[in-house]
A and B are shown apart, each in its own frame.
Chain A
């Protein structure tokens, strides 16, 4: 009897070990598959264009070392204009996003507000039903926003998901704090700025990153609303270079005949240049984004 039990224990221990080993192996493969494409792009961007074009297969380090591609990228007016525009959209867009989301979240987190339920219902409904792409486009057209910077900022001024996340977080602030302020004669603006906001810095950080990243990464609205190349965000310039393969935009004012030779490495360098800000923020992003998803997943 005792022997049998021992045997059983060893067997389950062995089973455990195989399970663990296979599990760890799966994780390692997954990490490699996720990370390697970025490493390949990074190595290629620093490689010598001639050597790279002759190379076949996987890269484990840059082939030779060359900054030619980066030089071409930073000499390119379209990339620079795109970069400047994107910074504008991220900064101005996020400030407006935050202001409206904070106001909405504060108002809808009040306990005694008669019209709260219908307003909330009206807002949540837009998550599940929309007028569609074309009516949205015509609306932006009719408002005279087409081909202006506002077309990338106003139509996406509030994200319902973010509004709900922030509201949930505001609701968690103890009522007693607010009540004592009210006795001292504080109105709602005072309570928002003096009590709620100082206690909500983490969720504001989450929202700043949520909105900021989505402005940085979006291309679709710019593609349908903008014609003027001087207003293009970086992602749209990237699309021209990487996907529609329009090298003319690359050759304008850059290295001329040389550009063709290094056109491959330029692509890789552009990807790196466009992604580096995100990678720099990544440690914060990861921490706060996870927090945001957690708050968002709470059911009321």
Chain B
């Protein structure tokens, strides 16, 4: 009995000491860093308001949001909006379009800068190499509106593409009005925009590959091509993996800012993706709760894929984001 009492008192005492030390640490830390915390204040406030604010606001996905009643006053409806979306006529079309554009991006847009970096690395003339870089980085700095503006002009019935193709006897086509052409236009212009700029990170990774590995490969009789396959690519694989995981994390959100500029009702059949649908429903039609529900569905899937891909990569290749 006595020993038990003794024990609890001892525990209490240590707990008190621990508590005190924690509080002391906080106070000491705050005293030492008071100016640092003053600096952090506007930064933390920004993230709380403009990033965590919308996360708090996402509750309207489970409510019938009414502007006059506000976030808290609007009545709960549970998963009604999610069910409505899953049952909607557009659901499968949106999923199909989103996943297909993402898949084509993974197949064509993602590897393009890798291949470009590998080829560029083989250019021995430094001046020529720098010229190539200067020119191919350029599209990255051009605004989306200008890129799409040029596309619209070139692909119009009177545009440059039709003018050139008519020489070869190809019939005039209004490419941007035909659903069948949308994916090709979107993906190829995406390659055009990103191939140069995307290569920077891989070029940096290539310079970090141990030069002795190339020497060893040469002694083993490997030519340039084999050196690329057996030394360079394995050397930059961690970088490729990281960027691939990040890309997977936005599988459900393809570049909607570009699609909104590029599509029209005639091409919705192939061009309308989840994010563009959210934009039309939420901003243009003001169906706030319904579109917030779709947005949440989208964000949760994206985050889930990211976490999953990261975990798999950690197990298989020991490369991961966190």
Contact A293 B136 (CB under 8 A): no
- A88 contacts the other chain (Cβ, under 8 Å)? no
Q: Please indicate the chain A residues that have their CB under 8 angstroms from the CB of B219 in the complex.
A: none
CB distance from A249 to the nearest CB of B (A): 14
In the complex the two chains form, what is the Cα distance from A148 to B69 in whole Å?
24
- B47 contacts the other chain (Cβ, under 8 Å)? yes
Q: Which of B104-155 contact A (CB under 8 A)?
A: 116, 119-120, 122-124, 128, 131-146, 148-150, 152-154
In the complex formed, the residue of A with least CB distance to B51 is: A126
- B257 contacts the other chain (Cβ, under 8 Å)? yes
In the complex formed, the residue of B with least CB distance to A268 is: B153
Contact A136 B224 (CB under 8 A): no
- A106 contacts the other chain (Cβ, under 8 Å)? yes
- The 0/1 profile, CB within 8 Å of A marked 1, for residues 37-80 of chain B is 10110111011011111111110100001000010000000000
- The 0/1 profile, CB within 8 Å of B marked 1, for residues 214-236 of chain A is 00111110001000000000011
Q: Please indicate the chain A residues that have their CB under 8 angstroms from the CB of B136 in the complex.
A: 30-31, 34
Contact B53 A131 (CB under 8 A): yes
Q: Tell me whether A58 and B164 are in contact in the complex, defined as CB-CB below 8 angstroms, given that A27-B128, A242-B152, A278-B142 are known contacts.
A: yes
Contact B299 A129 (CB under 8 A): yes
CB distance from A20 to the nearest CB of B (A): 7
* Number of A-B contacts defined by CB within 8 Å: 245
Q: Please indicate the chain B residues that have their CB under 8 angstroms from the CB of A30 in the complex.
A: 116, 132, 136, 195
In the complex the two chains form, what is the Cα distance from A31 to B120 in whole Å?
12
Q: Please indicate the chain A residues that have their CB under 8 angstroms from the CB of B124 in the complex.
A: 20
In the complex the two chains form, what is the Cα distance from A114 to B257 in whole Å?
40
Q: Tell me whether A19 and B292 are in contact in the complex, defined as CB-CB below 8 angstroms, given that A24-B128, A106-B39 are known contacts.
A: no
In the complex the two chains form, what is the Cα distance from A142 to B69 in whole Å?
12
Contact B55 A158 (CB under 8 A): no
Q: Tell me whether A219 and B50 are in contact in the complex, defined as CB-CB below 8 angstroms, given that A27-B119, A133-B283 are known contacts.
A: no
CB distance from A167 to the nearest CB of B (A): 11
Interface SS of chain A: helix
In the complex formed, the residue of B with least CB distance to A137 is: B283
- A185 contacts the other chain (Cβ, under 8 Å)? no
Interface size on A, residues (CB 8 A): 85
Contact A132 B47 (CB under 8 A): no
Contact B261 A137 (CB under 8 A): no
CB distance from B251 to the nearest CB of A (A): 13
Q: Please indicate the chain B residues that have their CB under 8 angstroms from the CB of A100 in the complex.
A: 42-43, 46
Report which residue of B135, B195, B205 has the largest number of chain A beta carbons within 10 angstroms of its beta carbon.
B135
In the complex formed, the residue of B with least CB distance to A189 is: B35
In the complex the two chains form, what is the Cα distance from A290 to B136 in whole Å?
13
- The 0/1 profile, CB within 8 Å of B marked 1, for residues 248-286 of chain A is 000000000000000000011001001100100010011
- B296 contacts the other chain (Cβ, under 8 Å)? yes
CB distance from B217 to the nearest CB of A (A): 13
CB distance from B42 to the nearest CB of A (A): 6
Q: Which of A152-187 contact B (CB under 8 A)?
A: 154-155, 157-158, 187
In the complex formed, the residue of A with least CB distance to B142 is: A275
Q: Tell me whether A135 and B292 are in contact in the complex, defined as CB-CB below 8 angstroms, given that A27-B119, A104-B39 are known contacts.
A: yes
- B97 contacts the other chain (Cβ, under 8 Å)? no
Contact A131 B56 (CB under 8 A): yes
Q: Which of B142-192 contact A (CB under 8 A)?
A: 142-146, 148-150, 152-154, 160, 163-164, 166-167, 192
B interface list, Cβ under 8 A from A: 25-26, 29, 32-33, 35-37, 39-40, 42-44, 46-47, 49-58, 60, 65, 70, 116, 119-120, 122-124, 128, 131-146, 148-150, 152-154, 160, 163-164, 166-167, 192, 195-196, 200-201, 204-205, 223-225, 239, 249, 257, 260-261, 275, 278-279, 282-283, 288, 291-292, 295-296, 298-299, 302-303, 306
What are 17 A-B contacts with C-beta separation under 8 Å?
A16-B223, A34-B136, A107-B39, A112-B32, A113-B36, A119-B44, A136-B50, A139-B57, A217-B141, A217-B145, A219-B257, A220-B257, A220-B260, A235-B143, A235-B145, A242-B152, A294-B200
Extra contacts, 7 of them, besides A35-B135, A58-B164 (Cβ < 8 A), are A27-B120, A56-B166, A129-B303, A135-B54, A143-B49, A243-B149, A271-B149
